[in-house]
Each structure stands twice: as structure tokens, then as C-alpha cells.
């Protein structure tokens, strides 16, 4: 009676969400302070003060019927202008307000862009390990997924990309700073990627579009994140304020179609059409304005950096193997046994909730989100030590 | 290079949105007070005070990282509980929090429900005239649209519905109070519809699902709106706070799967899966909580009723023909010439922005949204009179 694909998607839920829900239920049983939930990328650092201040200001300044009323489908004009101005100033590239589309967050941005681009038979390349929902969104848009495995250090593997990108490839989706590895792609590998995509586009006779999923752009600990439209013309940036402003639940972000894209106006029209057909009438009106006023600001990154150092130093000392992340708020540690799910089950016995890497498209790792309180990490460390010791017996 | 369907949808935009955008541009040219924009259902009555009060309270009471963080995909548990409690108390029916799914407004609700239900070859019946986007959402979900024309008074035409609903019909979508006619379906016709659907379900050997699109539920001027799950078991209610709380831009509503639905749990799982696959991670977190606290409240309906009376009385006096609406905030007047678009073009010369009925699935009418200021209506009346007089020459 129902669509079986949808039912299956709803029953499985995402592995991450599943653990998050378990963690909430477990917290009710044994107290939140006794559950060490490292599953979800739900920022623990509060939104910067500008968010609350701006909400309060808007509530006084703007009449309610205008503040909370529909905006244009692509966003309030003053918000789109502010975003385009910000992109120009921050990255030194051209940007046009009429190519900015405000969205309900990164997942909406990606869904809309994929629906806008995808024609029958199109393939999209993802770099694994990656956010598991990429596959869901690509398939929902009617596309086929092709995987290009990252290299051993979880940076771009150009040879793998060369094999993965073919004449049926409509787009390549990359995410830096990366979820789940915390890796930031450097300028050199981005230049090489751009060269590869130019060559592939020439072979294909049509542009291979680069889709940049950028919810973690500001979350770096020293590393510089190259702005992709500077390196490759046919780039669409999918941005979200979820992490930078700690507004993950408010569902607010934007799509920026680079003015250098071939057929940028057609592309933007397709973005508008996809948003319409998926039921996205406009992005939440109040938070459009709040985010426009907070462009360039971010939650305190100090706490994340402290968490990273605390966890990374302790876990490597305990014998876990892991790359030191340059950005985002994830540690991607090698499972000490082959089956990451079995390792996570053992961790669960110590109330440590970790996400096995299988759903990220790679076996044998687990993701640890460290966007949690330092106190929780400190309370969790003895559990991690016990867990590590289990493997030393 | 892009999906041509999406490009077309984006270029056409909806007829309503097109006029709204024109109105904004025109307001910049000649001043907003000289443009009489009756195009969009964007509430002009401010949100009730409880909305601002609740936002202010939440900003103080709930830590920012929790207030603005992800909720569960289906919504915050306390919000889903509050909605289920409200449904039970207000309508005297059973309702279950675990069958409530918070959404980004009515368009999202409908898109999600249609994707959840639609299997290959499924048809969905709509009652015309109706909201134009129904067609877009049904087709995006892979369904086929079958129209059942309303009767002359724009109430349900049971004979037309009998012809339209067949063995391939998965669902029937109805909207009361109705956009664009303002009609409220009475208990008698709802009972007859329920009987018809029971018979059709028996013939088909599977339930025909009734999808109730209810953004205007509270917007009535005396008429009672039957609560459909009381009359027909296999009902899914798609509710939005856009109009009742004047929050159209905030994108907040819910889906309520009636516990009496056959396979309610499977249906709900498919709703969760559809939300996930369309990129709806969760409904906006702050407004989930605001709406839970404002359940059962609504913006002042007095202003809409005054507007209705003012416009209805004047326009019928000028010679226009129209049904007196019982709910919502639309007048659906008969075009004095056959071609409604030509009539709207003539109206535009007087800066009157009306929506021709063609996109609603019927020819020869125009929709006038009266969710505008009384002052604008008063300023617009001389223009309406001149327009009427053109047809008396």
C-alpha cells in the first residue's frame, strides 16, 4: 500500500540517527551524564551571541506579518544580496545575488541541486568515505552513484577519480572539511581535481559539475579551505549555517551557482524548479535574516579544538589509530577489529556510542563526533581506556 | 545539461508567485501604496502575541545549542506529544504522538505524503479548482493526476468523484476551507465522500487514502469544518501553521497519520523515509516549539472577516459574480469575459493584481486574496469599480 523504497528508508533510518535515538532513550534510563553519545554532528557549542541579538532585534524592528511571511522562493532579496556580497568579499570571486538560492540547510541544498541536474542515465561521483545520505539523495534524484575511494590519508585519490569520472558523469560531489574524516583538501589536490574535471568535461563535450558540500567551511584548526569556484568554473556551492552558527535544527543554508558556470541561468532556473517540485516553498524567513546579519561569524571554535586535542591525544595514547583532523568535528579511528559494527557493539557496553564506518562507504573504521561537552569527553575517557584494553588481552 | 522538467518548472514559476514578484517590482517603481496586490495567500494579520512571547521565553529558558540543535527527524518528542494531545482534545479522535511527523509546512507535508504513498502507476484524484501545486507535487512523486470537477457551487460533486476514483487511485486530496473558492465542505458531503471511498476501497481491495490539506482549518467565519479522520479511517491530515498563526515564511506544519489507517505504522515509516529522501532533516526547531505552545490559538480572524464583507459586498454591487466564502481568505469571482487572463491583464492596468483561474484547473474565474490590509482594499475599490464599468460599455 505504500512505496516500499520509502518505507525501507524510513525503517532503516540513517545509522547515525538510529544511534542518536538510542542515546536519547538510554539517557532516559540511566541519566544523560552516563551516556557517552559521540554519534551526531549536533553542535554543542552555542550559537554566537549575534544570533540571539539579531532575533530580538528583528522581533522589535520588523512587523510580524512581514518578518514571518513568505519570502520569494529563492529567498528575501536583501538576504541574497548580503550573501553575494559576503562571497565576493570573503573569497575574492564574482557572485551574483540572482544566482543565490536560500535553502532549508545542506540536505535540502544537495537534494535540490541533484534534482536540478539529474537527467536519465546520469551518474554522480562521491569520494568515500563520505556522508551516507549522499547516496540517498542521488538515488532519490534518479541518479546512479559511482564511488571514488579516498587515498590512505583520506585525501583525494586522483587516479581513483580518473577511473570514476566518465562520459555519463553529471557531477562530482566533494566535502571539505570532510565528514567523517576531518580532512581538509589542500590547494594542490584541488588544482589537480580541477584539471582532471576540465579534461573530463572536454572528453564528454559537456561540463562535469563540481558540487561542493560546505557545512564545515569555517570549522578548521589552522588549515585554509580553498574556495572551489576559484579553481573550477562549473561549481555549485551548497552551504549550511548548521555548524558555523550552531543552528543545525533551524534548517538554513544556501546554494550558490557560480556565475562562471556554463548556462548559469538555466542551472539556476532548474534549482528553482527542483525546490518547487520538492515542496520547498522558501527557506525559513526569520533565520534567513538572522543568518544574513551573522555572515562571517561563527560559534567558538576553541571548544572544538580543545576537544579534538583531548580526544586525539588520549585515544592515540590508548593505542587507537587515527588521522589528526584539520577541520570539522570528527575523529575517524581505525577499528581494532575488522568488523567495525562489532567494535561499536563492544563500545556500547561501556555506554560509548560510536558510528561504524560501513554506512560511510568504507569498512573497518568508526566515527567519533566531538561536538560534545569537554566534560563528557573527560567522563568518557576511562571507558575508552577499558575498551582499548579489551583488545590488548 | 540540466533536468529540463526542473528548468521548466523554475522558469514558469507558479502563476501566483510570478504575479507576487511582479507586484514587488512594481511597488519599487510606483510605491507600494499604489499597487493593489491580491495575488498571494501571505497573511497580513500579524502572528498572535503568543508567538513573540514564546520565542522570547525560549531564548531565555532553553540553552541555545539545544534550542537550535537537530530534533529527531519526526520532530521533538515533546512537540509531537503536544500535537497529539491537541488533536485528541480538539476533535475527540484518537491520535498518537508516534504517528505525528513535524514538517516544513503544508507543501512539504503534501510532497512527503505523496512520495510515501506513490507506487508505479498510482493515480491521485484532486478536486478542481484547486491549489495549482498539487499537480506539481503529485507528478514529482511519480503519480498521475485525475481531476474531479467541483459542482457549480464549488462543493464536492459525488458523481464526478465516483467517475474519477478507480482501481488505480491511491489517494484523494481535498482541501477545506478551500483555496481558491473559500468553500467549506459540510458534514453531509463529507459523509457521502467517506461512503464513496469505502465502496471504492472495497472494490479495489485496498484502501483509497484520503489526504486532507488543512492550512485553512481555523480560518472560517462561522462554518464548522468536519475533522476528516472522524468520518473515514484511512485519512492523513496535512496541517500547516502558516495561516492560523501567520507564519507562512517559517515553514512549519505537521503530518498526522490517523491511528485508524490500515497499516498506520508502515505508512508512518514511509513518511519518515520520504522526508529523509527529499532532504527534510527535521522541521525548524525553534518554531516546532513555538507552535507547540500556541496550539489552538490563531491570528485575529476579525480582520479577514471584515475584508471579506467589504470586498464581497462592493464587488457584487459593482456587478461581479461570486460565491460568498465561508472560510480561507479568497474570493473566487467569475471573469466578466471568457478569458480570465485577458481580464487580469485589464485589471493590471489599474494596478490590480489578480490571479487567473486557469492554473487552478478551471477557466473563466479569478482568485482575489483578501489577506491584505483593509486600507489597501479601500484604496483598490475605485479601481475595481472602473474595471467593472469597462465591461458595461
Per DSSP, the three-state class of B327 is strand
Contact A5 B273 (CB under 8 A): yes
Say yes or no for a CB contact (<8 Å) between B6 and A51.
Answer: no
Q: Got the DSSP string for B331-361?
A: EEEEPSSS-HHHHHHHHHTTTEE-EEGGGGT
Question: How close, in Å, is residue B336 to chain A by CA atoms?
Answer: 31
Q: Name which of B342, B313, B307 is nearest B328 in CA terms.
A: B307
Which three cell numbers, joined as nine digits, stand for A17? 540517527
The closest of A88, A58, A74 to A296, measured between CA atoms, is A88
What is the torsional sign of CA B145, B182, B41, B350? positive
Quote the pLDDT of residue A120. Answer: 94
Q: For residues A53 and B93, what is the distance between their CA atoms, to the nearest angstrom?
A: 42
Q: How far apart are CA B258 and CA B236, in angstroms?
A: 6
Would the CB atoms of B2 and A59 count as touching at under 8 Å?
A: no
Q: What pLDDT score was predicted for residue B21?
A: 82
Q: How far is CA B353 from the centre of its chain?
A: 20
- Mean pLDDT over A282-300 rounds to 96
Question: Span A103-125, mean pLDDT?
Answer: 97
Residue B19 contacts A, CB cutoff 8 Å: no
Distance CA B197, CA B204 (A): 10
ipTM: 0.94
Q: Which of A13, A133, A281 sits opposite B105 (nearest CB)?
A: A281
Chain A residue with CA closest to B372: the answer is A65
Under 8 Å CB pairs connecting chains A and B tally to 289
B332: distance to nearest CA of chain A, Å? Answer: 22
pTM here is 0.95
For B231-269, b/e burial (b = at least 16 CB within 10 A) is bbbbbbbbbbbbbbbbbbbbbbbbbbbbbebebbebbbb
Cα separation, A147 vs A158, whole angstroms: 13
Chain A residues within 8 A of B109 when measuring between CB atoms: 279
- Chain A residue with CA closest to B204: the answer is A1
Q: Nearest residue on chain A to B205, judged by CA atoms?
A: A1
Q: Per-residue confidence of chain B (393 residues) as pLDDT tens digits?
A: 899 999 999 888 667 778 888 898 999 999 989 999 999 888 889 999 999 999 999 999 999 999 999 999 999 999 999 999 999 999 999 999 999 999 999 999 999 999 999 999 999 999 999 999 999 999 999 999 999 999 999 999 999 999 999 999 999 999 999 999 999 999 999 999 999 999 999 999 999 999 999 999 999 999 999 999 999 999 999 999 999 999 999 999 999 999 999 999 999 999 999 999 999 999 999 999 999 999 999 998 999 999 999 999 999 999 999 999 999 999 999 999 999 999 999 999 999 999 999 999 999 999 999 999 999 999 999 999 999 999 987
Amino acid at each position: 500500500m505504500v512505496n516500499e523504497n520509502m518505507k525501507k528508508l524510513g525503517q532503516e533510518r540513517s545509522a547515525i540517527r538510529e544511534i542518536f535515538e538510542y542515546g536519547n532513550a538510554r539517557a532516559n534510563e540511566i541519566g544523560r551524564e552516563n551516556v557517552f553519545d559521540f554519534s551526531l554532528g549536533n553542535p554543542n557549542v552555542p550559537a554566537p551571541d549575534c544570533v540571539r541579538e539579531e532575533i530580538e532585534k528583528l522581533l522589535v524592528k520588523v512587523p510580524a506579518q512581514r518578518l514571518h511571511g513568505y519570502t520569494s522562493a529563492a529567498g528575501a532579496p536583501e538576504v541574497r544580496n548580503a550573501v553575494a556580497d559576503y562571497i565576493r568579499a570573503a573569497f575574492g570571486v564574482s557572485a551574483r545575488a540572482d544566482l543565490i538560492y536560500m535553502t532549508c540547510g545542506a540536505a535540502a541544498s544537495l537534494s535540490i541541486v541533484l534534482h536540478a541536474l539529474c537527467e536519465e542515465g546520469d551518474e554522480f561521483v562521491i569520494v568515500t568515505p563520505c556522508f551516507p545520505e549522499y547516496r540517498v539523495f542521488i538515488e532519490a534524484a534518479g541518479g546512479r552513484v559511482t564511488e571514488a575511494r579516498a587515498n590512505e590519508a583520506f585525501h583525494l585519490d586522483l587516479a581513483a577519480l580518473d577511473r570514476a569520472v566518465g562520459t555519463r558523469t553529471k557531477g562530482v560531489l566533494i566535502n571539505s572539511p570532510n565528514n567523517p574524516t576531518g580532512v581538509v583538501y589542500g590547494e594542490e589536490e584541488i588544482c589537480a581535481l580541477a584539471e582532471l574535471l576540465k579534461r573530463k568535461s572536454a572528453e564528454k563535450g559537456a561540463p562535469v559539475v563540481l558540487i561542493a558540500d560546505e557545512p564545515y567551511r569555517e570549522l578548521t584548526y589552522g588549515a585554509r579551505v580553498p574556495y572551489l569556484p576559484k579553481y573550477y568554473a562549473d561549481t555549485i556551492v551548497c552551504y549550511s549555517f548548521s555548524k558555523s552558527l550552531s543552528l543545525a535544527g533551524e534548517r538554513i543554508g544556501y546554494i550558490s551557482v557560480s556565475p562562471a558556470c556554463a548556462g548559469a541561468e538555466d542551472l539556476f532556473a532548474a534549482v528553482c524548479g527542483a525546490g518547487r517540485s520538492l515542496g520547498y516553498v522558501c527557506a525559513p524567513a526569520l533565520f534567513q535574516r538572522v543568518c544574513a546579519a551573522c555572515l562571517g561569524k561563527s560559534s567558538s571554535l576553541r571548544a572544538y579544538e580543545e576537544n579534538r586535542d583531548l580526544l586525539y591525544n588520549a585515544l592515540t595514547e590508548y593505542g587507537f589509530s587515527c588521522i589528526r583532523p584539520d577541520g570539522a568535528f570528527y575523529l575517524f579511528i581505525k577499528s581494532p577489529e575488522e568488523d567495525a559494527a562489532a567494535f561499536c557493539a563492544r563500545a556500547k557496553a561501556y555506554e560509548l556510542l560510536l558510528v561504524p564506518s560501513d554506512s560511510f562507504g568504507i569498512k573497518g573504521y568508526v566515527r567519533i563526533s566531538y561536538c560534545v561537552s569537554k566534560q563528557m569527553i573527560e567522563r568518557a575517557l576511562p571507558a575508552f581506556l577499558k575498551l582499548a584494553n579489551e583488545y590488548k588481552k
